[in-house]
Amino acid sequence: MQKIPSWVDAESTAQIHSSVVFVPFEGNRTIIGKRAKIDSGAVIYGGVELGPDCIVGHNSILRQNSRIGAHSVIGNLTMLEGNLSVGEHSLIHSNNHLGQNSEIGDYVFMAPLCVMTNDPKMIYYRKGYSKVTGAHWKTLKGARIEFGARIAVGVIFFPRIKIGRQSVIGAGTVVTRDVPDYSVVFGVPGKVKGQVDPREDRIAKCEVDHS
Ligand SMILES: CC(C)(COP(=O)(O)OP(=O)(O)OC[C@H]1O[C@@H](n2cnc3c(N)ncnc32)[C@H](O)[C@@H]1OP(=O)(O)O)[C@@H](O)C(=O)NCCC(=O)NCCS
């Protein structure tokens, strides 16, 4: 068992591999819920909240203030850039990149090799950029992926867009605009190619008691 720093509140039933690295951030406390499991090589910053029964895979990095809801999985080698949230019962596969200020809802499936961007104009050291005030950082905003959406391999999300409820985004799509609820979208740029029938695509809610 890892020696847990004093700023980490870990439930006694959590399993934290001895090689996990904890990185303090601005005095923020980190919370690790009941039965949560953190695999070897993961890096967990201050301000992270892991709900009950979460899994964080090998060598994944959860930067400051990343919040993961109950029973969600972050796969191996996945990068969470911080100040973001993943809901409950979501599966974020391996080798994904979630930019700062992204939002992922409940029951979302994300296959490997997806990227959520957050900086539309990349104004790094150009007009509007200030390392002193941090103004640039305040403008960053990632996508919002809503309840039950399914994201195939290799999808790129432009900043600030909304992916509607139970929509399906096909492999290799570049999503440049908002996606309406229950849409099937694919291509570069992504276009609506079909519809999901909510009567057929009913999500069986998890019945596990996570308390
Ligand atoms: C989005 C998706 C579900 C669409 O499936 P579908 O509705 O059954 O579509 P079809 O396979 O019938 O294909 C219809 C047409 O769209 C094209 N097409 C399908 N998906 C495409 C995609 N992602 N990008 C570009 N074209 C695509 C097909 O080539 C086909 O073209 P054609 O009519 O000229 O032959 C599917 O393409 C997809 O991306 N699946 C996800 C696979 C995946 O990443 N799984 C993750 C597991 S970890």
Give the model confidence (pLDDT) of 186-207 as tens digits.
Answer: 999 999 999 999 999 999 999 9
Look up the pTM and report it. 0.96
Q: Residue of the nearest CA to atom 5 in ligand 1?
A: 170
Cα-Cα-Cα-Cα dihedral sign, residues 109, 115, 117, 121:
negative
Expressed in angstroms and rounded, the spacing between residue 168 Cα and the centre of ligand 1 is: 10
Tell me the CA end-to-end span of the chain in Å, nearest whole number: 23
Per the DSSP assignment, residues forming a β-bridge with 116 are 98, 157
Let me know: does 41 contact 22? Beta carbons within 8 Å: no
Per-residue pLDDT at 178 exceeds 80: yes
Expressed in angstroms and rounded, the spacing between residue 55 Cα and the centre of ligand 1 is: 30
Q: Ligand 1: list residues with CB < 6 Å.
A: 111, 152-153, 168, 170-172, 184, 186-187, 194
How many angstroms separate the CA atoms of 24 and 129, rounded?
A: 26
How many angstroms separate the CA atoms of 123 and 139, rounded?
A: 10
Q: Which residues contact 162 (CB under 8 A, 6 or more apart)?
A: 143, 144, 146, 178, 179
Give the model confidence (pLDDT) of 52-89 as tens digits.
Answer: 999 999 999 999 999 999 999 999 999 999 999 999 99
> What is the enclosing helix (H) or strand (E) of 156?
strand 156-157
Let me know: does 132 contact 114? Beta carbons within 8 Å: no
Give the model confidence (pLDDT) of 122-167 as tens digits.
Answer: 988 888 888 888 888 888 999 999 999 999 999 999 999 999 999 9
Look at residue 138 in the predicted model and tell me its pLDDT.
81
Which amino acid is present at 137?
Answer: W
> What is the enclosing helix (H) or strand (E) of 135?
helix 135-138
Neighbours of 197 (CB within 10 A): 10
Chain length of the chain: 211
* Bridge-based pairing state of the strands 183-186 and 91-92: unpaired
Q: Which domains does the chain have, with CATH numbers?
A: 1-95 (2.160.10.10), 99-197 (2.160.10.10)
Expressed in angstroms and rounded, the spacing between residue 178 Cα and the centre of ligand 1 is: 20
